Structures are given as C-alpha cells and as structure tokens.
Amino acid sequence: MNLITLTTDFGTRDWFVGAMKGAMLNVNPDAILVDLAHEVAGGDIRGGAFSLMAGYPFFPKGTVHVAVVDPGVGGPRQAIVVQTANYFFVGPDNGVLSFALARERIKSIRRLENEDYFRKPVSRTFHGRDIFAPVAAYLSRGVSVEAFGPALTEHVTLDWPEARVQAGKGRIEGEIVHVDRFGNLITNIGAETMRMFGDKPCEVFSGNRRLCPIAPFYGAVSAGRPLAVAGSTGFLEIAVNGASAADWLDLGVGDEVNVRPWIKSR
Amino acid sequence: MNLITLTTDFGTRDWFVGAMKGAMLNVNPDAILVDLAHEVAGGDIRGGAFSLMAGYPFFPKGTVHVAVVDPGVGGPRQAIVVQTANYFFVGPDNGVLSFALARERIKSIRRLENEDYFRKPVSRTFHGRDIFAPVAAYLSRGVSVEAFGPALTEHVTLDWPEARVQAGKGRIEGEIVHVDRFGNLITNIGAETMRMFGDKPCEVFSGNRRLCPIAPFYGAVSAGRPLAVAGSTGFLEIAVNGASAADWLDLGVGDEVNVRPWIKSR
Amino acid sequence: MNLITLTTDFGTRDWFVGAMKGAMLNVNPDAILVDLAHEVAGGDIRGGAFSLMAGYPFFPKGTVHVAVVDPGVGGPRQAIVVQTANYFFVGPDNGVLSFALARERIKSIRRLENEDYFRKPVSRTFHGRDIFAPVAAYLSRGVSVEAFGPALTEHVTLDWPEARVQAGKGRIEGEIVHVDRFGNLITNIGAETMRMFGDKPCEVFSGNRRLCPIAPFYGAVSAGRPLAVAGSTGFLEIAVNGASAADWLDLGVGDEVNVRPWIKSR
C-alpha cells in the first residue's frame, strides 16, 4: 500500500509540506501522497487530532496516516508509529493521533528510534521532514513497525469531551468541538447518543437560549435560518442555511449546547 | 483514463477534500487526483461554474471533472453525470457544471441513482464524499454512464451574461465575472467579440469613466498603471501592472464595463 | 524521472495551478506533480526564489523544479531551463531560480524558444500554463535540454544579502529574509557562519535591543518566550515558543539583526 496521508499545521504558504513530500518520494518514489489538512491552527494539537479523526477512515486499508502538529519538536516528546487493525499512524506522541486511535484496534505502538530510517542530519525543528516523512515512506514500502524502535505499551491521549445524557432532565449536554470553513458548528453529540430521543422532533439550545430545530438537511429550513443536522462526521452539527452559524449565532469551540425534545408550548 | 479533477467550495482548512480523495482511492487505487479549485466561496455556484469552465479544457481527453458546490445537498436537487465528446462531468444539477457544458458537445446526461456506486451510508450533508467521489472513481475505472441511472434530457443551466455589441454606439458592453487572486478583473468580453474593432486601439470604460487602454501584456504599461489584456481564459481582463486592479479601480464581480475605440481628442 | 515540483504565486483560489497540471499531464500522463509553494505573494520574485531554495533539495535526483513568479510575463524577459548536476529548473529568467541555482553546479542553461514544446496558442499572460508546464513535462519524459533552445552563458541573479562577520566587534550582522506561517523569523545567518562563536552561548539583538538567547529547540524556553534556533533551512531563525515572533517582536523581512556572545553582566 503506497498511500500516505498528511495532516499538519504547516499551512500552504511555505515549502514545509513540499519538503516532507520530497523526503517521502526520496524513500519511496511510488508513494501516493494525499493532503488531509494543513491549515490546522499553529500548534493546535486538538484541532489536528480532530481533523485526522474526521478524515482518516475514508482511506483504503493499509494507508499510512502521518500527522504533524508538533510544538514540542526537538524536545523530550517521543515520536511514534502505531499499527492498528486497518492502518498505520505516524507522528509525535503528543495526542495528535489519539482521537483517531480511540476508534481503532491497536496492534502495536513503537517509539521511532532507529536512525537508519531518518533523513540526516536530523534538524531540531522539522521532524516532519526528517523523521516522520521518511518513516512513513518506509512503512509504505512494507518495512514492519518492529524495525523502527522498541515497543511501547501506551501513547499520550487527549481527553475527548464526552456528551452527557441527562436522562432526568430529558436532555443531552455537549459542546462545540470544531468550526468548519462554512462556519458550521460541529458538536460532540454523536448519532447513537441521539437515539435516546427516538423519533421525537428535537431542538438545540445554548444554555436556555433556543438555537434551532433539528432538521434532515440544510435546505429544510429557509435561507438564513439556523438548523442542526446529523453531520458527515457522525456528530450533530449546527448550521445556518446559506450562511455561517459561527457568525450568526456567535458560538465557537468549547461553547456548550444541549438537545431537548421539541415542546409545542415552549 | 485514471485522471479526476476536483473543483469545490470545501476549502483546505478541513478534511473534506481529503475525505473525497480517500473515497475515490477506495474505489480506484490508480486514480490520479488533481485539484482545480477548492476556495470557491461557500455556496457560490456561479463562482464554481466559472472556475471549472476556466480550468477543465487543459486536461487530457477522458478526464473526469467533479465539481461540488452544493448548498442544496440532501434536498431535492438531483445529482448527475454528463458525458461529452471529450470528458465526463459529475456534480449536483444546480448549474455548477453548466458553464463548462455550454462549451462541450453533450452525449449523455444521467441521473445518479444507482446506489451500488455510492459510499454507504450516504450522509445528508456530504454527497461530495458519499456520491460524487465514488461515482467519479467508478467512471475513471471505465464504468459507463448508463450504469449510474436513467437518462435525462436536460440539466440546470445558469445564465451567462453575454457581452453586448452595440454597433450603433460603437462599443461593446460587458461586465466583470471574476476577480482572481492578483486582483485582475476578468470580464465576459471574449476575444472573438473584440474582433469588431479590428486593429484599432481601444480603451475600457466603467460607464463614462475611462479606466485604461488595451495593451498586449502587463508590462506594456508602467508599474502601477492600469491596462486591459486578452486574458488566458479567452476574455478581456483588466489589470494593474504590479498591483490589484480590484483595489485600485474599486470594481468587482457584476460591475459593468464597456470597450470603445481610442479617440485621440477624448 | 517523472517528478515535477511547482512553486508559484498563483495561489489556490483560482484554477491557475490546476490548469498548469492539466497542461503537464497532457504531455506526460505519468508525471507526478508535487506542490512546493503557491502562496508566494503576487509578483514577489525574491519570496519565490527563497521558497524554491528552501524546498528543492529534498527531492530525488532528476526532479524537474518549475518556478513561476512572473510579473514580466508576455514582455521581453526570457524563459529558461537550467540543468544542474542534480536537477532541472524551469521558469522565467528573472531571478526566481537564482537562489537555488547558487547552490547547484550548473551544467547547461537554455533559452526556451522551440515552440514545438509549447502549448498553442501561447497566451501573453499565462506562460506557466502555455510554456513552463509543457516544457517541464517534456523534460520529465526525457527530452534533453538542447532541444528547447539555444545555450545561454548566464542567467539573471538576485542579490543574496550575505550575513557579515564583524570580527572586530565580535558579532555577526544579518537580516530577516523570510517570515513563515508560524511567524518565525528566518535570518540569512547560516550555521557555518555561527561557528565563529564555537560553543559560546549567544544572543540575538535588533540593533542594541536584546531579543533572545540562542537555544537548541522551541521548547527550551518557557511558553511565550522568544528564542533563536538553528532552523531547518540551515539558517538561524527567531521564534517565540507557542506564538508568532513576527507579532511579538514586531519584526519582518529586511529588518537587521545581529548575534553576539552572551555576556553575564549585560
């Protein structure tokens, strides 16, 4: 499997992503390189972890996923490769891989230590190019994870803010975990959690401020009206038909929302 | 022909384009994926249609062009594939394909209905990943358009604002249809229309405000001076040598301009 | 070697880069196309030259590097291909190739003149698509540089601002040559120049304003504190741990900095 995806905070203004790709193609000229996301905010490990989680499952089995949001580069943080039942994940061990790994069955975690698989000299500021890129390319050539370094029993995980089912209050409490380019507000409230309401029509609130009804698709409400939909990442997502919900509702990452059944008299 | 191009309003901040590519590579691991434009303004069908029209003809015969600017996703708008003499076009039937199709000889239009060629489950918000990407990948593997669904006799078209030759007034009236990243103002006045002036030197006006002469290339006027050139899309384009015409002339999409022969005494 | 890299100021908002890739794939369907940088500021030849220099060496021997920052397109500036010991470089002869070429052993410089290798008709505003793209693709197919046009003995070079070793004052004087997406300030002070200080701890100044110590990696100082590191391009780089040095220190391209040994009593 020659397929490698890249998720970074390197942006596309500079040559950083290009240099990583060059380093990969030096090792495996047949590698197929696909950008997942590069405009993760600088140093935003959580944002990178979310983008990776949202994008990785759509790739063929055996794909190597590299994620480099690495503010601790050059310091004591470790570099790892993780083999799961379906994929390989390569990156700094700072949690950027952890949201994706939480959804995978982990088979092996290895510390990247064998310098035979690094580009030399290894800089202190750009392990994306000097360590993660060549390691990913060797993986894509079939080098087994054992070759890269000693086994680890765990990896750094970020806390995922679980949505809370408040059965007594008849509501689900969650928060906004991502704002996408359209200004849609992606929450942490998953489709399976929503099943507690069965087929009842529901509404989304910010505290006690009524935000919008849940609807099947964007165009189910009039242009300029807010709604919540079952989003493409599996989470409830607040949108405004034809506009930015982030702007119109003045909400962002970390803001709490809750879902309640629709009550006519409210 | 394994070549697929992508034109979307998904931006590059999120994982949307990457997820589409993963879905394509799942179906056709040999697909070659080329980005045409992803920073079309959110929901700007006309902007997407223009970008597709401007970029598609430079690809080899047989290329599959996917365009997803799809504010009506999940609603009643249809999804289509169009086979022309040279290419395949895949996208929502909302006009985003129509400027390109107006320049092609259409051989077949099919509604995308056969779920065998969809990724499942199909979300209500991301048909780019769940319908258009896999369909494009199947097309690139040689599946014929008949397989995807029933024939249609027409598709949705956007009005193209035709430039008007005002022979009596001795002028051509048109408007600005795109502002590019340099701030160049691309008009709807095509090269063939301009032939009415023969070899006469001409000038461009906004109403009766004289904007600039027509010149052969950017550097034909001094730095900081405006000019109009025969642009690379086949349309007359207003530029400022070394600066943004949009900023300097304070003009944008929809603003009217007209071309007149240069008169010494004016 | 089917590998071609692209460095341009075309941005990713429009179809320009996509059209170049289409023109390349028309000539060589097996070409592997890698973006190096497209968000070079419009017309910023020096910025393009720096990005190319920073990214090109990480690609396999034989790679074709195309750089198109070309405000003089359509005018008298020449178009060239340069073969070096390791690579091919294609672009306008305006200096955009020169920082990279200064690090390579040049074997041949040719003017692009043979229209057999151009896309026709050749526009006056987009030689990226009509000349540089097809020429690069023919090179990637193995066409030798002699085929493209007559030999030249020189090419246009931009002045590189060399850092100055002021042995008498015990300092190195340089300037900022690039600000990256993180706000890191990349200087022109190379690793080998820094050797004059041996193992002495050093500090960076702006005039006589003390900016920061030199440290081994970003996390070697507290969050929010400035430091300078040996950057991944081989140059000293001023950063702020977890923030933008450009914003915090209010410095940018062209601003002078100097390095002095650390003195306790200062």
B227: Cα within 13 Å, side-chain hemisphere: 20
Give yes or no for a contact between C148 and C135, defined as CB atoms under 8 angstroms apart.
Answer: yes
Same topology, domains C3-148 and C164-261? Answer is no
Contacting residues of A for C237, CB less than 8 Å apart? 125
What angle do the packed helices C45-55 and A16-27 form, to 10 degrees? Answer: 30
Measured in angstroms, the CA of A31 and the nearest CA of chain B are apart by 12
Averaged pLDDT, C241-255: 95
Average pLDDT, chain C: 95
Q: Do C14 and B37 touch (CB under 8 A)?
A: yes
The answer to whether residue C42 neighbours chain A at the CB level (below 8 Å) is: no
Give yes or no for a contact between A97 and A49, defined as CB atoms under 8 angstroms apart.
Answer: yes
Confidence of residue B195 (pLDDT cuts 50, 70, 90): confident
The answer to whether residue C122 neighbours chain B at the CB level (below 8 Å) is: no
pLDDT in tens, chain A (266 residues): 899 999 999 999 999 999 999 999 999 999 999 999 999 999 999 999 999 999 999 999 999 999 999 999 999 999 999 999 999 999 999 999 999 999 999 999 999 999 999 999 999 999 999 999 999 999 999 999 999 999 999 999 999 999 999 988 889 999 999 999 999 999 999 988 888 888 889 999 999 999 999 999 999 999 999 999 999 999 999 999 999 999 999 999 999 999 999 887 65
pLDDT of residue B263: 83
* CATH of segment(s) C3-148: 3.40.50.10790
Q: Do A34 and B13 touch (CB under 8 A)?
A: no
The answer to whether residue B91 neighbours chain C at the CB level (below 8 Å) is: no
Q: Pick from C257, C105, C251: which is nearest to C194 by CA? A: C257
Top-level CATH class of A164-261? mainly beta
The answer to whether residue B36 neighbours chain C at the CB level (below 8 Å) is: yes
Give the closest of B10, B15, B72 to A36, CB-based. B15
Query: Using one digit for the tens of pLDDT, what is the confidence trace for C1-38?
Result: 899 999 999 999 999 999 999 999 999 999 999 999 99
Of B264 and A133, the one with more pLDDT: A133
CA–centroid distance for B90 within its chain: 14
B186: enclosing H helix or E strand? strand B185-190
Query: Using one digit for the tens of pLDDT, what is the confidence trace for B220-260?
Result: 999 999 999 999 999 999 999 999 999 999 999 999 999 99
Architecture of domain A3-152: 3-Layer(aba) Sandwich (3.40)
Q: Phi, psi at residue B165, to the nearest 5°?
A: -85, 115
Query: Using one digit for the tens of pLDDT, what is the confidence trace for C113-127?
Result: 999 999 999 999 999
Residues A8-32 as b/e (b if ≥16 CB within 10 A, e otherwise) read: bbbbbbbbbbbbbbbbbbbbbeebb
Q: Check whether C240 has a pLDDT greater than 60.
A: yes
Distance of alpha carbon A48 from alpha carbon B7, whole angstroms: 24
Contacting residues of B for C11, CB less than 8 Å apart? 181
Q: Check whether B1 has a pLDDT greater than 90.
A: no
Q: Do C12 and B7 touch (CB under 8 A)?
A: no
pLDDT of residue A265: 61
Of how many residues is chain C composed? 266
The answer to whether residue B168 neighbours chain C at the CB level (below 8 Å) is: no
Give the closest of C26, C71, C124 to B229, CB-based. C124
pLDDT of residue A266: 53
pLDDT of residue B221: 93
Chain C, nearest residue to A29 by Cα = C60
Give the closest of A55, A181, A237 to B13, CB-based. A181
DSSP assignment letter at B123 = P
The answer to whether residue B33 neighbours chain C at the CB level (below 8 Å) is: no
Query: Using one digit for the tens of pLDDT, what is the confidence trace for B139-176?
Result: 999 999 999 999 999 999 999 999 999 988 889 999 99
Q: Do B5 and C14 touch (CB under 8 A)?
A: no
pLDDT of residue B10: 96
Cβ neighbours, 10 Å, residue A264: 5
Confidence of residue C195 (pLDDT cuts 50, 70, 90): confident
The answer to whether residue B140 neighbours chain C at the CB level (below 8 Å) is: no
Place of tokens 């200064």: C102
Q: Pick from B188, B145, B185, B141: which is nearest to B2 by CA? A: B141
3 state SS of A248? helix
Give yes or no for a contact between A260 and A247, defined as CB atoms under 8 angstroms apart.
Answer: no
The answer to whether residue C224 neighbours chain B at the CB level (below 8 Å) is: no
Q: Do B3 and C33 touch (CB under 8 A)?
A: no
Measured in angstroms, the CA of B44 and the nearest CA of chain A are apart by 10
Distance of alpha carbon B228 from alpha carbon B230, whole angstroms: 7
Q: Pick from A208, A265, A202, A215: which is nearest to A245 by CA? A: A215
Give yes or no for a contact between C20 and C5, defined as CB atoms under 8 angstroms apart.
Answer: no
Q: Check whether C151 has a pLDDT greater than 80.
A: yes
Domain boundaries along the sequence of chain C = 3-148, 164-261
Q: Return the amino acid letter for B171.
A: R
Q: Do C230 and A12 touch (CB under 8 A)?
A: no
Q: Check whether B266 has a pLDDT greater than 70.
A: no
Chain C, nearest residue to B51 by Cα = C15
Q: Check whether B265 has a pLDDT greater than 70.
A: no
ipTM of the complex: 0.95
pLDDT of residue C164: 95
Structure tokens at C117: 């290798």
Distance of alpha carbon A130 from alpha carbon A124, whole angstroms: 9
Contacting residues of A for B21, CB less than 8 Å apart? 34
Contacting residues of B for A58, CB less than 8 Å apart? 18-19, 22-23, 26, 119, 129
Torsion of CA C251, C253, C257, C259, to 10 degrees: 110
Question: Is this structure's pTM higher than 0.90?
Answer: yes
pLDDT of residue C265: 61
The answer to whether residue C232 neighbours chain A at the CB level (below 8 Å) is: yes
Q: Do C23 and B58 touch (CB under 8 A)?
A: yes
Query: Using one digit for the tens of pLDDT, what is the confidence trace for B82-123?
Result: 999 999 999 999 999 999 999 999 999 999 999 999 999 999
Chain C, nearest residue to A41 by Cα = C182
